[in-house]
Structure 1
Amino acid sequence: MAKTGKLNAEIKVKSDADNFWKAILDSANIFPKACSDIYKAIEVVEGNGRSVGSVRVVHFTEGSAGVKLVKEKIEEVDEAKKKVAYRMIDGDMTQYFKSFKSSVEVIPDGEGSLVKWFCEFEKASEEVPGPEMTRDLVAKNFKQIDDFLLKA
């Protein structure tokens, strides 16, 4: 298996694109509430947590497969496309990946939205499994956020 790769996921949600996009941008507040089984807290340590250059520290719950903390930096925010891109800069995932970049895009889709997640990665070694588990966690995360928003 290659040390570098790309992975994506498309998740259909019932929330409209504007509301889901606002939740993505407000992840430091929304994610720990909507997905308390995944996130303990998301701490903004630089910037406002919503703009390019912002740095967030994501604290995961105990059941997160050896990853307790990830530090990420926002590299792109495109309000018109409802797209945000970020890069892992520190934390437990660095033992598995030399680089890990992700993006999330929220696209209006009929009654709800289509949420596209994409990542590019370089594994620390050939033995490291790919990030399929991360993709599955992202899909679960987006469904929980959708449920949370629909109940609000």
Structure 2
Amino acid sequence: MGKSWLYYFLELHACGVAETAKDVIEAIDDENYSTTFRVIEGHLLEKYKDFDATVQVTPKKDGGSLVHWTVKYEKASKEAPDAKGIIQLVTDMTKDLDAHLIEQA
């Protein structure tokens, strides 16, 4: 498993609210086709103590791939919302990417 310290900024529009996040790619696993991200700065850390996401792509035998996201977070307080809006955003982005790749094939 390789490590990368690539930092990047995101502007998320979940639940109609624009939020920023500075992420770092913590791990790239070429063998398992996965990448793990950790939020290190931004609005998300006002709501969550920790926020990590892993995306894994598994090739299918008959072509195409399955994409599996794992999101781990700890709320900063009891009042902090669940991450449903962000999870929906990631789901929508994955579907949009899928549609784009199918269109390009």
TM-score of the pair, normalised by structure 1: 0.61
What is aligned with 2:95? 143
Structure 2 unaligned regions, length at least 5: none
Give the superposition deviation at 1:64: 5.3
Kept in 1: contact 2:15–2:85 (CA 8 A): no
What is aligned with 1:130? 82
What is aligned with 2:52? 101
Distance 1:65 1:98 in 2: 22
Distance 1:60 1:87 in 2: 15
Paired letter, 2:48: F
Q: Which runs of 4+ in 1 moved over 6 A?
A: none
Q: Say how many residue pairs are matched.
A: 101
Distance 2:79 2:35 in 1: 30
Structure 1 unaligned regions, length at least 5: 1-50
Once the two structures are superposed, residues 118-147 of structure 1 have per-residue CA deviations (whole angstroms, 9 ceiling, x without a partner) of 011111101112112211111111010011
Once the two structures are superposed, residues 27-48 of structure 1 have per-residue CA deviations (whole angstroms, 9 ceiling, x without a partner) of xxxxxxxxxxxxxxxxxxxxxx
Equivalent position to 2:23, from 54, 66, 72:
72
Q: Which has the higher strand share?
A: 2
Distance 1:67 1:86 in 2: 20
Distance 1:132 1:60 in 2: 13
Distance 2:15 2:6 in 1: 24
Give the superposition deviation at 1:95: 1.2
Give the number of the structure with larger relative contact order, counting CA–CA contacts within 8 Å between residues 6 or more apart.
1
